[in-house]
Structures are given as C-alpha cells and as structure tokens.
C-alpha cells in the first residue's frame, strides 16, 4: 500500500538499555523556554545570543542556510574568518521561536562554505558568534575578502540526543506533572528532562522531503547521512509538534541526502541511515500493508543512528 505522511519523530527502535537509566540521561529545560519539546524530538544544547551554551536543552534545528553577500566573508592573518549574514527569523529557518530574534550559530557547531572566491571553502568550527556574524577557525595566513560569487553558507548543529519526556512542578495544577512533552509554559522552575544519548541507540523515523515530492528512501541510501525537518513540501498547516498527543512531527529529510545532489550535504548531518525498516532482501515484507513499511513508496520508514551528535563527538558547545 502507498504510505501516508504521518511522522512522529525519532522513536527508539532498538537498544532500550536496562534499569535504571534505559539509555536516558537527565537534562534540564529552562522554564523560560516557550518553544515546546515533544516526545521523539531531536534536541540540542540551548545557546544564548552569542552562541554560547547555557547548559539547558532545546528543540533541535535542521541545517540552517545563512544569507551571505558576495563580500560577506573576510579572513585575517591570525587564522580567523568572519562571516557576516542576515539575521535569521524562526519563520524562515525552522529556528526555535524563543531564539527567533537573536539566534546566533552555536559555538562549536560547524559551518560549511562553498562557492566562495578569495577566501577558503570547506568546513569550519564556530568560535564566536552574534545574530549577524560568525567567527570560525581558518588556516588562511593572509587577509582576504570574498568577492565575485555569492557563497553558500550552512550551519550544522550537533544534536544532544532524542527527547523522551520530562517532569515539572505545574503552577496551574499545583503538583508534579510527568509528561511526554514540554508544553512551553506552566512552571516557574527548571524542567527535569530525559534524553536518549546512547551513541549506539537506533531510531525508527518516517521519511519526507522538505523541498519536493517525496520518493522512497531505498537500500542504496543505507550508510548515507540524513537531516530532519518538520515542514514537508507538499503539506500545509504543519507545526513543530502535536500538542494533542505530545508527539513529535519531525521526519528524516530526504532533501538532505548526498545522493539528492544538494550542495553542502555531508558528514555533519545529525543521523546516519542504518537500515530500511522491515526490508527483506529479495522478498516482500509481510508488514508492507502497514503505513510507512512499504519500502517502494515515498514516506517509508527507516532506521537511523546518531552521526553528528554530542555523545559521539569530542567537541562540545
């Protein structure tokens, strides 16, 4: 049967661990974070207006493409490169609402530059940032400024894990609430969150496409890295989570696959495709009649593991 688009985020597929942690670690959500975090959402470390980590977690962002002018990149002889970009709003870049007016590329994240002239292209680590500039490490030993061509600049933020629920003292109910999602309000204290961080965890996720009509993600894509999004190209009225049931609306974004030919798709994407869910070589899956399990049609489900994730990296944020 044809699959229908009904994503519910990155649900744990294998490696459930054992008592008492079940592959989960405790984290904190700031009570002032008004962006909800839903069950099965990828999360990242929250940052402040200069990109420095706050120690809290927030709903993760997919790769963010910055708007940079042809002369918007400059290098200095000390090995630093400054990228000047147009300030980003949540309505244009899937940035969490609470950061929409002052989002800065997180310190420790990776910026990939292509199509630049006069300055280096490649992958660079962010060392400082504001809402309109990012300073990255560079091996260039002479001062220069980009010119002629408009560079393509994309920010890749490592995920901190996958959200598995939370506990907080409700101001409206006057009691402790255990919930599968953080609603974005209803407490004056920090929220106790639970996050799956095991680097060997596997997740089941539905595929979709943020740019064009989705097609099947097949066996040829196993081993590729993939990003995520919540805004599918062919559906309207989507939100970054379902408040009726607390479930995530994220899907694995086919548009980010390197086989899709997208400039900048690379090793800095957060997840890696491990398998096609319920795929049986040389035969039809007995579960193909269940939504998401028809491996020959778009919106099929895949199994992924962490790739660019803080539990797997040596660099923090």
Q: pLDDT for 135-190, tens place per residue?
A: 998 877 678 888 888 999 999 999 999 999 999 999 999 999 999 999 999 999 99
* Residue 261 scores a pLDDT above 70: no
Cβ–Cβ under 8 Å, residues 34 and 186: no
Sorting pLDDT into bands at 50, 70 and 90, what band is 196? Answer: very high
Q: Note the residue count of the chain.
A: 317
Distance, CA of 60 to CA of 41 (rounded, Å): 8
Q: For 124-138, what is each residue's pLDDT tens digit?
A: 999 999 999 999 988
Domain 64-156 has CATH 2.40.30: yes
- The pLDDT of residue 259: 57
Cβ–Cβ under 8 Å, residues 244 and 8: no
- The pLDDT of residue 93: 57
Question: Does residue 20 have a cis bond before it (omega within 30 degrees)?
Answer: yes
Distance, CA of 258 to CA of 58 (rounded, Å): 27
* Residue 99 scores a pLDDT above 60: no
What is the spatial order of strands in the sheet that 133-137 belongs to?
A: 64-66, 152-156, 110-114, 122-129, 133-137, 80-84, 73-75, 144-145
Q: Is 4 exposed, middle or buried (0-12, 13-18, 19+ CB in 10 A)?
A: exposed
What is the percent of the chain where pLDDT is above 70? Answer: 86
Q: Is 33 exposed, middle or buried (0-12, 13-18, 19+ CB in 10 A)?
A: buried
End-to-end Cα spacing for the chain: 44
Q: What is the mean pLDDT of residues 262-290?
A: 78
Q: What is the mean pLDDT of residues 231-255?
A: 87
Do the bridges between strand 161-170 and strand 42-47 make them parallel or antiparallel, or are there none, so unpaired?
antiparallel
Distance, CA of 274 to CA of 219 (rounded, Å): 10
For the chain, the average pLDDT equals 86
- The pLDDT of residue 26: 94
What does each C-alpha distance from 36 to 41, 62, 89, 178 come to in angstroms? 10, 16, 17, 15
DSSP state of 255: G
Q: Could you state, in order of their start, the residue ranges of all structural domains in the chain?
A: 1-21+198-309, 64-156
Cβ–Cβ under 8 Å, residues 174 and 218: no
Q: For 54-97, what is each residue's pLDDT tens digit?
A: 999 999 988 888 999 999 999 987 889 999 999 886 655 556 55
Of residues 154, 135, 157, the one with CA closest to residue 68: 154
Distance, CA of 65 to CA of 92 (rounded, Å): 10
Of 54-58, 105-109, 129-133, 281-285, give the lowest mean pLDDT range. 281-285
DSSP three-state, residue 221: helix
Of residues 268, 291, 239, the one with CA closest to residue 123: 268
Sorting pLDDT into bands at 50, 70 and 90, what band is 31? Answer: very high
């Amino acid at each position: 049967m044809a699959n229908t688009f009904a994503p519910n985020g990155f649900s744990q597929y294998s490696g459930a661990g054992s008592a008492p942690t079940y592959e989960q670690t405790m984290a904190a959500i700031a009570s002032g974070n008004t962006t909800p975090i839903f069950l099965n959402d990828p999360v990242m470390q929250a940052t402040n207006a200069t990109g420095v980590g706050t120690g809290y977690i927030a709903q993760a962002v997919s790769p963010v493409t910055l708007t940079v002018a042809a002369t918007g990149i400059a290098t200095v002889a000390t090995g630093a490169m400054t990228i000047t970009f147009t300030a980003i709003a949540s309505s244009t870049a899937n940035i969490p609402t609470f950061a929409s007016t002052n989002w800065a590329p997180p310190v420790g994240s990776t910026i990939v530059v292509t199509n630049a002239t006069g300055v280096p292209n490649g992958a660079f680590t962010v060392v400082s940032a504001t809402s309109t500039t990012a300073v990255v490490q560079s091996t260039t030993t002479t001062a220069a400024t980009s010119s002629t061509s408009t560079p393509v600049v994309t920010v890749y933020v490592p995920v901190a894990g996958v959200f598995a629920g939370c506990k907080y003292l409700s101001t409206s109910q006057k009691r402790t609430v255990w919930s599968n999602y953080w609603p974005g309000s209803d407490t004056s204290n920090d929220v106790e969150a639970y996050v799956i961080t095991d680097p060997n965890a596997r997740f089941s996720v539905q595929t979709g496409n943020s740019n064009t009509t989705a097609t099947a993600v097949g066996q040829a894509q196993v081993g590729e890295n993939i990003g995520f999004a919540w805004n599918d190209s062919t559906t309207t009225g989507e939100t970054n989570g379902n408040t009726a049931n607390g479930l995530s609306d994220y899907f694995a974004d086919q548009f980010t696959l390197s086989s899709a030919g997208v400039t900048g798709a690379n090793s800095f994407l957060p997840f890696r495709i491990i398998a096609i869910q319920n795929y049986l070589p040389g035969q039809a899956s007995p579960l193909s009649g269940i939504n998401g399990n028809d491996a020959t049609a778009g919106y099929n489900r895949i199994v992924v593991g962490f790739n660019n994730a803080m539990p797997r990296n040596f660099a923090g944020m």
